[in-house]
Amino acid sequence: MKILIAGGFGVGKTTMVGAVSEIAPLRTEEPLTATGLDVDDLKGIEEKRSTTVALDFGRITIGADLVLYLFGTPGQQRFWFMWNDLAIGALGAVVLIDVRRPESSFAAIDFFERRGIPFVMAVNGFHGLHPYPTEEIRESLALPEHVPVLLCDARERESCRDVLIALIDRLIDDVTPRPSPTR
């Protein structure tokens, strides 16, 4: 299964792929440069020193017949054109959000909603902090009830695994026939 790990600039996509991948992840990280300072908004992520310029790739085996291929998208707006190609064949996505900068998630939410690609929202707790309950986050992002909102830490393998399992559960629910109401 092809799964995208998406979100805005500096929300933890590369970290998540690296934390959960059973193989050494492929990374296309490059140092931030002075030239990019005019383009990249580092407000709230001033400590960031590098960025994904193409994609991240990792793999995790869930079972004998289920392997997830993880594709981390670039977060900077100037690289968003690659999302269309990365989305080809994707069955679902994890949208990471940094609650310090919630506006960084809007474009990713719109991208997957417009394409009908199921996703879960993963709230990355930087420094272990989760200052808002999931229902408050859902409401502030105007997410429908069928989109799971999960708290996670992109640095922790188990936390990332749980997010991926929630996405798989959502994908299964989306294809499972519902009993028709009886009259």
Q: What is the mean pLDDT of residues 136-158?
A: 92
CA-to-CA dists, residue 171 to 61, 89, 118, 146, 176, angstroms: 17, 14, 7, 11, 9
CA–CA gap between residue 123 and residue 152 (Å, rounded):
6
Question: Which range has the worst mean pLDDT, 75-79, 152-156, 168-172?
Answer: 75-79
- pLDDT exceeding 90 applies to what percent of the chain? 54
Report CA dihedral (124, 129, 134, 140) to the nearest 10 degrees. Answer: -80
Q: Per-residue confidence at 130, pLDDT binned at 50, 70, 90? A: confident
Give the global pTM: 0.86
Using the predicted structure, report yes or no on whether residue 74 has a pLDDT greater than 80: yes
Which pLDDT band, with edges at 50, 70 and 90, does 23 fall under?
very high
pLDDT of residue 35: 60
Single out the residue of 15, 52, 12, 16 nearest to residue 167, CA to CA.
Answer: 16
Residue tagged 């995208």 (tokens): 4
Cα separation, 138 vs 145, whole angstroms: 8
For residue 100, the cross-strand partners are none
